Amino acid sequence: MRVAVGCDHGGFPLKQELLQHLAQRGMDVLDVGCFSTQSVDYPDIAEKATDAIRTGQADRAILICGTGIGMSIAANKVPGIRAALGSDPYSARMAREHNNAQVLCLGARVLGPSLAMEIVDAYLDAEHAGGRHAARVEKIMGIEGKYCEGGKHPCQKS
C-alpha cells in the first residue's frame, strides 16, 4: 500500500513524526509537502495528495494541518474523495470500515503525537467492510453525482 502524506506549516512537525512512524511500519510513502514551517495554503497540499489518489500514485493519503478541518474540507471537494477527520482510533477505524475513506486528516494543534500515531495505525490497519456500508458509500457518491454532468459521478461503477 502506498500512502501519500501532506501537511501545511501547522502540520509540518507532526508530519516529520508521521514519516518516521510510517518508515518503521515499512510503508511506501509519497511525500507531497510542505517541507518546512514556512506558511503555505492547505488547499494546495490537499489537492496534491488527492491527485495522487485519483491518478493511482497512492492508495491512501494522510493530511495534517492545525486542526485537520481545512484539509478535510478541501480534500472532500475533490470528486470521488472521502476524507475523514481522525479524532480517535475508533473513529479512524470506522472511517475505513464504514465510510471507505481514502484520506485521513489530522489536527497537529489538537492531537499529541502518540495519539496521532494510534489514530494512523487504526486507520491503516482497517479495511472497508462492504455490504450495507458499501451501499451507503454508493449513496454518498450518488449525492456528488447529482451535481456532475449527466447526473452521474464518473467514479460510480453502475
Asked if 65 touches ligand RB5 (CB under 6 A), the answer is yes
Give the residue with the Cβ less far from ligand RB5, 65 or 83: 65
CA angle 9, 14, 17 (to 5 degrees): 135
Asked if 89 touches ligand RB5 (CB under 6 A), the answer is no
Tell me the closest approach of the beta carbon of residue 151 to ligand RB5, in angstroms. 32
Asked if 69 touches ligand RB5 (CB under 6 A), the answer is yes
For residue 153, indicate whether it is catalytic.
Answer: no
Asked if 12 touches ligand RB5 (CB under 6 A), the answer is no
Instruction: Report the residue from 4, 12, 67, 92 that binds ligand RB5 according to the rule CB under 6 A.
Output: 67
- Closest by CA to 43, choosing from 80, 6, 3, 87, is 6
Q: Extract the C-alpha cell encoding 15.
A: 508530519
- Tallying the residues shown for the chain, one arrives at 158
Q: Extract the C-alpha cell encoding 138.
A: 454508493
Tell me the closest approach of the beta carbon of residue 106 to ligand RB5, in angstroms. 11
State the CB neighbour count (10 A cutoff) for residue 122: 20
